[in-house]
Amino acid sequence: MIMNFDRFSGLPDNGTFTIGFTPSDTDNRLFTLGIWFASLPGDRTFVWSPNRNSPTSQEAILELDTTGNLVLVDKKVTIWASNTSNANVESATMSESGNFILHSTNNHPIWQSFSQPSNTLLPNQPLTVSSELTSSKSSSHGGYYALKMLQQPTSLSLALTYNLPESYQTFDENESYANYSYWQGPDISNVTGEVIAVLDQAGSFGIVYGNSSDGAVYVYKNDNDDAGLASAIHQSTPLTVLRRLTLEENGNLRLYRWEDVNGSKQWVSQWAAVSNPCDIGGICGNGVCKLDKTKTNASCTCLPGTSKLGRDGQCYENSSLVGKCTNGKNENKTSSFRISTVQQTNYYFSESSIIANYSESDVSSVSKCGDACLSDCDCVASVYGLNEERPFCWVLRSLSFGGFEDTSSTLFVKVRANSSWTPEGQEGRSNNSSSDGMGSAKEKAVIIPIVLGMIVLIILLTMLLYYSVHRKRTLKREMECSLVLSGAPVNFTYRALQIRTSNFSQLLGTVGFGSVYKGSLGDGTLVAVKKLDKILPHGEKEFITEVNTIGSMHHMNFVRLCGFCSEGPQRLLVYEFMKNGSLDQWIFPSIRGPDRLLDWQTRFDIAKNTAQGIAYFHEQCRNKIIHCDIKPENILLDENFCPKVSDFGLAKLMAREHSHVVTMVRGTRGYLAPEWVSNRPITVKADVYSYGMLLFLFFWCFV
């Protein structure tokens, strides 16, 4: 291999990073170009490489040609190029932070490796909205993983996605399959200006947006990080501690630090995005991921039409080629196929993979879910499970993102009728009878009672297990309902709220700190689930304390807090559902229709009862509460137009012996009291001012 920089003064050896060729991990006759830490003897872990998935022969050349283009050529074939021809490239340098840069004649950077990352992020290296980290491709099927900014209509977050191999992208020219996002960092909303993800020198990782003073959202924060993420913006200083953030081939994002372990220097993992390997989409290709007893190591089981190939043990090919529609007819002969059942198995899938979602009224039993797949020619498999003990059935056209163990689900796979495949661990039975006299009557007389006894034992154990599980679910549901009826807020899991809101599919509206979705509890009670977009500035203990404080208060003009979720980066609040929405929908002319005109008595009652609610948390609670954001959008109306004050996301608690509190500006412009903008101490009178503005708008808008 040759690196030809004769036209320039050459690359300086800064002692920290170097660029060169190393033998490929899979074949020592092939070579990979990359940048690695020069100061680590015996370790050549790449932090950047342009040809990880296409190693070269020993005849490869990396050179800056006469036009200023940096090219990697192997046997006269261009493998990679910087695309900087005729850009007046004059020199190439390696920065102390590991950034390989091509400079113009006036020393302006024309191209840099930091702007085209591979699978690793170094300290102070920005990851922009238009760039992404990508893992090496699977040697079995060509799938790969990516870390990128996931942009939603009102928010943005970092996300890990599994990207299908090119051969899997479409099986029909009219079909489209989206990639699968299996991990997301905290959401940020209402962002303006530049947005970048960055790893700082102290080992913290997150998103910085706007000017450096605007905001930073941490994905992982090192306890010893005093300077913060903003200090990493546009910095290029020598590294005192060697760190790297790498997206590995198995789909996990890990933060490593070079440390001394028992006298041996090595890379030590400090943080990982995913703790359960089976939570990673595609980790087994399109096979099923199973954890061992330690819950840390995973193995793969393949479905019909797939097989294990390659050192990574992943499943390749595609079972969804089975049973596709043919001859332009949207039907198939059910006699040509049969359903094979895989117990305790579920699958990851994108929205574009779903053919239908049947509820209890459509699919009343497990077997009918298999029949639904058998009768649909597009279906390759269906999944049956229970949602709060109510059955559901997903009919799927693709299993490309892989499966996982799930005790509450059953997978039905469509296979050809003449297929002998059975799920792993289940032996197929032969239909051929023996007629050669083998097996005496005496042997049969011994075997038959044993088999019958085992069948009876299995039935008894199954009944006992069913009773135990049913009993636990019943007790859990009764306890949950009793907590809701008693008024105590319930600590929900994030998965439970996903189920109860149909994966947050029914958006009711957006508020200052997040979005509100419609859902229902196990007893059918309708609720409004508020999903916070930002990690709160206080910690877990303070969040729980505030939830318990608000949840313990009860008043007829106060929206009741039914529960909450504080799991990982997720923060959600569950409120009682208000049928008539918020007050602004009934008073503003641009929103209300002719059927939304309230009579004067109803307006008076709403104004009076709202004042009673505000007076309650000002004067009658153990701790005074300053709401800080009284406005029509935060006054909700039930089916009888009884007003209820809501949205305490900006509220401030104050001991009764105190008359004021000093805090940062919070609230909505147009309803702010004068003391907010004059930096004076805030009292309950700030809410009274906002209520006065609300009254003005309330009655003026009806004139």
Which positions are annotated as active-site residues? 629
3-state helix, strand, coil in the chain (%, to 5): 20, 35, 45
Whether 307 and 297 have beta carbons less than 8 Å apart is answered as no
Look up residue 560 and give its two tokens.
Answer: 């009741």
Q: Which residues pair with 3 in a beta bridge?
A: 62
Give the three-class secondary structure for 357.
strand
> What DSSP character marks residue 693?
H
495: Cβ contacts below 8 Å, ≥ 6 apart: none
How does DSSP assign 251-286, residue by residue? S-EEEEEEEEETTEEEEEEEEES-SSGGGSTTTTBT
CA dihedral for 233, 236, 242, 244, sign (positive or negative): positive
> What DSSP character marks residue 56?
B
* Other Cβ atoms within 10 Å of 192 Cβ, number: 9
Look up residue 500 and give its two tokens.
Answer: 């109860």
Cα angle value 562/563/568 (rounded, 5°): 165
Instruction: Tell me the CA distances in angstroms from 656 to 227, 621, 686, one per residue in order.
Output: 37, 9, 16
With 0-12 / 13-18 / 19 or more C-beta atoms within 10 angstroms meaning exposed / middle / buried, residue 299 is middle
Rounded to whole angstroms, the Cα distance separating 380 from 392 reads 17
Rounded to whole angstroms, the Cα distance separating 135 from 253 reads 10
Provide the total of helices (H) and of strands (E) in the chain, helices listed first.
Answer: 8, 42
What is the phi/psi pair of residue 531, to 5°?
A: -100, 115
Amino acid at 474: T
Give the residue from 247, 211, 154 showing the smallest Cα distance to 504.
154
CA dihedral for 165, 171, 176, 182, sign (positive or negative): negative
CA dihedral for 399, 403, 408, 414, sign (positive or negative): positive
With 0-12 / 13-18 / 19 or more C-beta atoms within 10 angstroms meaning exposed / middle / buried, residue 228 is middle
Whether 567 and 518 have beta carbons less than 8 Å apart is answered as no
- Per-residue HEC secondary structure of 407-418 comes to EEEEEEEEEECC
Whether 205 and 245 have beta carbons less than 8 Å apart is answered as yes
Q: Which residue has the tokens 């002998």?
A: 420
Look up residue 600 and give its two tokens.
Answer: 């004067």
- Length of the chain, in residues: 703
Whether 4 and 61 have beta carbons less than 8 Å apart is answered as yes
Amino acid at 433: S
454: Cβ contacts below 8 Å, ≥ 6 apart: none
Whether 284 and 272 have beta carbons less than 8 Å apart is answered as no
Q: Which residue has the tokens 């390997």?
A: 277
Whether 574 and 500 have beta carbons less than 8 Å apart is answered as no
